[in-house]
C-alpha cells in the first residue's frame, strides 16, 4: 500500500462570484474548516476560485494584478494541520509577456510550498486564456507531502492525453509529465463549463487516465453560473483502478471527503439523462445570474406558447414561483386559447400574473404611422413587429419600475435564422433559451412534467402549433421549415461545426441546408444576435460569447 492510499481527500466544489474576493475567500475558509472536521489530509479547490475564473479583462486591471496574492494571506494560516491546493492567480515578474499566471497554490500546514502555473492556455469556444495569462512551460508540478508525491496540473494541462483523444490541440501533455516524474497522486483543478455530454466525457477521461497510469486522480471542477457560462461541478476522484470513488453532485456546491483506498464506487453526480442535465443547467444559470446581480424577482412575457411557458417554469424553480411575474399582453391577433392556456400555466406554477393588453396602443400607432393592420403573415412586417416592440416596452417598464429581471424567451432555432424582433421579444437581461433548439424546448418541457409528476406545463401548450400571433392565422411553419427538419441542420452546423457537404452527407436536403445556413449567416441576423442579452450556454459553439462572426460581410454559401 502506498502512502497515497492512506490519504483522505476533500473535494471543495464551491460557487464563486467574479470579483467577490472577500466572499470567495470566506467560502474557501469554510471548506477548509469542513475538511479539517472530516479529518482530511488534503483539500482541493477549482481553478481561480479566489478571483473568479470568468473575470475577463479584470485580469488586465492594474489593481487586480498588484494585489493578486492578497487572498492567500488569509488562506495560508487557515491550513494548519492540512494541505490545500487552491486555484488562484499570481503576478508575472518578468516585464515581458502577460502580467499574470493562472496557477494552483500548494499550501501545507500554514506554509506556501509553491505555485504550479498553467502551461496550456485554451482560446477556443468560450475560453480566452492567452488574452490574460502567461504560460509557464516548465512549472514545478511535483510536491512531496506527508511522504506522498503529488502531481498538480491546472485544467487544460490535464485535457491532452494522447491515449484518450483521437485529435489533440497540443503536442505536450503536462499531466503525463507529472506522472512520469513519479506522481503517486494526480490533482487537476478545473473551470470546465457545462455542455451536453460533458459530464460523462470527464468521467471517462479521468477514469481512463487513472487506470492507464495506475495513479489515483482528484479532478475538481467549478460550480455556478457566470453570465451565460454555467459550470456544472461534477467533480470526481478515481482510484488507481479507474473506479470513481467520490462523485460530486452536479450543479450544486459540494464539500465532501473520501479515503483513497475506500474501493466503493460512487455515481451520485453521473446522470444518464442529458435532458435532466440541460434543465439543471438552465435553472442554475437563471438562479445565479439573478442572485449575483442582486435580482430577487423576475418578469416574463407570457404568450401562451411553449417557449415562454418553459421559461416561466424554469424561473419558478430557480427563484420560487412567488418571485415570478408572468405578464399576458394580448393583441388583436391573440387567440382565446393562448390566453386561457397562459392562465392555466400560471395557476399550475403558482406565479403572479398580470394582463396588459396592447390593442389600444397598437391602434394608436397604426393610425399615427399610417400603417395598415396585417391581414396575413408577412404582409406588413413593420406592423407585426410593432406589436412585439410594444410588449417589449411594457416588460422593460415593469422591470425598471419594480426591479425585476426580464427574462427573454426566444429559442436558438428562431435566433439562429433571425425569426425574432429586435427591441421586442429579444429584450431582456438574460436569454434563457438562446442556446436551446426548438425541438429541445419541447423535450425539456415534457421532462419538467415528468420530473414534477404532474402537468406543470399544460400538454396543450406543448402540442400547440407554434405561432407568433402577430397576424391572422399566422404560424411559424408558414415562414420557416418545420423545426424537426431545421434543428438537425442547426445542431450539426453549430455544435459539430460541419461543412455544408458534411451536413448533406448526414441525410439532409441540400437545398434546405444552404437555405438555412445562408439565413444563419446573413448580416441582418448576425446584427440581431450581437444585441441579444447574455445567453445561458448548454452546448459547444453556442450563440453567445463563444461564437464570433462579423456583422458586415458579403460571404454567401452557394450550392455547387
- Which tens digits make up the pLDDT trace of 340-365? 999 999 999 999 999 999 999 999 99
Mean pLDDT confidence for 7-22: 97
Paired with 187 in beta bridges are 152, 218
Mean pLDDT confidence for 111-123: 97
Give the pLDDT score at 1: 43
Mean pLDDT confidence for 214-226: 97
As annotated, the active-site residues are 47, 118, 155
Mean pLDDT confidence for 456-483: 91
Q: Which domains does the chain have, with CATH numbers?
A: 3-272 (3.60.110.10), 277-479+523-529 (3.40.50.620)
Give the pLDDT score at 179: 97
Mean pLDDT confidence for 480-502: 95
Average pLDDT for the chain: 94
Mean pLDDT confidence for 419-427: 94
Give the pLDDT score at 163: 95
Paired sense of beta strands 217-221 and 236-238, if any:
antiparallel
Helix (H, G, I), strand (E, B), or coil: what is residue 302? coil
Helix (H, G, I), strand (E, B), or coil: what is residue 153? strand
Provide the grid cell at 6.
492512506
User: Quick one: which of 364, 366, 363, 354 has its CA closest to 401?
Assistant: 354
Q: Is 227 left (phi over 0), alpha (psi -120 to 50) or beta?
A: left
Share of the chain above pLDDT 70, in %: 98
Q: Are 249 and 220 in contact (CB under 8 A)?
A: no
Span 264-288, pLDDT tens digits: 777 665 656 899 999 999 999 999 9
Span 256-269, pLDDT tens digits: 999 998 877 776 65
Span 78-89, pLDDT tens digits: 999 999 999 999
The one-character DSSP state at 421 is -
Under the banding of pLDDT at 50, 70 and 90, the label for residue 5 is: low
**Cβ neighbours of 126 (radius 10 Å):** 20
| Cβ-proximal residues to 116 (8 Å cutoff; 6+ apart), any chain | 103, 104, 106, 139, 140, 141, 152, 153, 154
Half-sphere exposure of 74 (CA within 13 A, CB side): 15
Span 157-186, pLDDT tens digits: 999 999 999 999 999 999 999 999 999 999
Give the pLDDT score at 376: 81
Cα distances from 234 to residues 141, 212, 267, 490, 512, in angstroms, run 24, 22, 10, 28, 39
Amino acid at each position: 500500500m502506498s502512502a497515497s492510499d492512506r490519504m483522505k481527500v476533500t473535494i471543495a466544489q464551491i460557487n464563486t462570484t467574479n470579483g467577490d474576493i472577500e466572499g470567495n475567500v470566506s467560502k474557501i475558509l469554510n471548506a477548509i474548516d469542513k475538511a479539517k472536521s472530516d479529518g482530511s489530509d488534503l483539500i482541493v479547490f477549482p481553478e481561480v476560485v479566489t478571483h473568479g475564473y470568468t473575470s475577463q479583462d479584470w485580469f488586465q486591471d492594474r489593481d487586480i494584478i498588484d494585489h493578486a496574492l492578497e487572498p492567500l494571506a488569509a488562506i495560508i494560516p487557515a491550513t494548519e494541520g492540512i494541505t490545500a491546493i487552491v486555484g488562484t492567480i499570481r503576478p508575472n515578474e518578468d516585464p515581458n509577456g502577460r502580467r499574470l499566471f493562472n496557477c494552483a497554490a500548494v499550501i501545507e500546514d500554514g506554509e506556501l510550498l509553491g505555485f504550479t502555473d498553467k502551461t496550456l492556455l485554451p482560446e477556443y469556444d468560450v475560453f480566452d486564456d492567452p488574452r490574460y495569462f502567461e504560460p509557464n512551460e516548465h512549472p514545478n508540478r511535483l510536491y512531496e507531502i506527508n511522504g506522498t508525491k503529488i502531481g498538480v496540473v491546472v485544467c487544460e494541462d490535464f485535457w491532452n492525453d494522447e491515449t484518450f483523444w483521437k485529435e489533440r490541440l497540443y503536442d505536450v501533455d503536462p499531466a503525463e509529465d507529472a506522472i512520469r516524474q513519479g506522481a503517486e497522486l494526480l490533482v487537476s483543478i478545473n473551470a470546465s463549463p457545462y455542455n451536453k455530454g460533458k459530464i460523462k466525457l470527464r468521467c471517462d477521461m479521468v477514469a481512463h487516465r487513472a487506470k492507464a497510469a495506475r495513479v489515483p486522480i482528484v479532478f475538481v471542477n467549478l460550480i455556478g453560473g457566470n453570465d451565460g457560462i454555467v459550470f456544472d461541478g461534477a467533480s470526481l476522484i478515481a482510484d488507481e483502478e479507474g473506479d470513481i470513488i467520490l462523485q460530486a453532485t452536479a450543479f450544486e456546491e459540494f464539500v465532501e471527503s473520501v479515503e483513497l483506498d475506500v474501493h466503493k464506487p460512487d455515481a451520485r453526480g453521473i446522470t444518464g439523462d442529458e435532458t435532466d442535465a440541460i434543465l439543471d443547467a438552465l435553472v442554475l444559470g437563471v438562479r445565479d445570474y439573478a442572485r449575483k446581480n442582486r435580482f430577487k424577482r423576475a418578469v416574463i412575457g407570457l404568450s401562451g406558447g411553449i417557449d415562454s411557458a418553459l421559461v416561466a417554469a424554469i424561473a419558478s424553480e430557480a427563484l420560487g414561483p412567488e418571485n415570478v411575474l408572468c405578464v399576458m399582453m394580448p393583441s388583436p391577433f391573440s387567440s382565446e386559447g393562448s390566453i386561457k392556456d397562459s392562465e392555466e400555466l400560471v395557476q399550475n406554477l403558482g406565479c403572479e400574473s398580470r394582463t396588459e393588453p396592447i390593442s389600444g396602443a397598437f391602434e394608436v400607432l397604426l393610425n399615427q404611422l399610417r400603417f395598415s393592420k396585417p391581414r396575413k403573415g408577412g404582409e406588413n412586417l413593420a406592423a407585426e413587429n410593432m406589436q412585439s416592440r410594444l410588449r417589449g416596452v411594457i416588460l422593460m417598464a415593469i422591470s425598471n419600475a419594480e426591479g425585476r429581471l426580464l427574462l427573454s424567451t426566444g429559442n436558438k432555432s428562431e435566433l439562429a435564422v433571425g425569426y425574432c424582433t429586435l427591441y421586442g421579444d429579444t429584450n431582456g437581461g438574460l436569454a434563457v433559451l438562446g442556446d436551446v433548439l426548438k425541438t429541445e424546448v419541447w423535450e425539456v418541457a415534457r421532462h419538467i412534467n415528468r420530473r414534477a409528476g404532474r402537468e406543470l406545463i399544460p400538454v396543450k401548450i406543448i402540442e400547440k402549433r407554434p405561432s407568433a400571433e402577430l397576424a391572422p392565422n399566422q404560424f411559424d411553419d408558414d415562414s420557416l421549415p418545420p423545426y424537426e427538419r431545421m434543428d438537425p441542420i442547426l445542431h450539426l452546423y453549430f455544435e459539430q461545426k460541419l461543412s455544408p457537404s458534411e451536413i448533406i452527407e448526414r441525410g439532409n436536403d441540400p437545398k434546405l441546408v444552404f437555405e438555412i445556413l445562408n439565413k444563419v449567416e446573413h448580416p441582418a441576423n448576425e446584427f440581431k444576435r450581437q444585441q441579444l442579452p447574455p445567453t445561458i450556454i448548454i452546448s459547444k459553439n453556442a450563440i453567445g460569447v463563444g461564437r464570433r462572426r462579423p456583422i458586415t460581410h458579403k460571404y454567401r454559401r452557394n450550392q455547387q
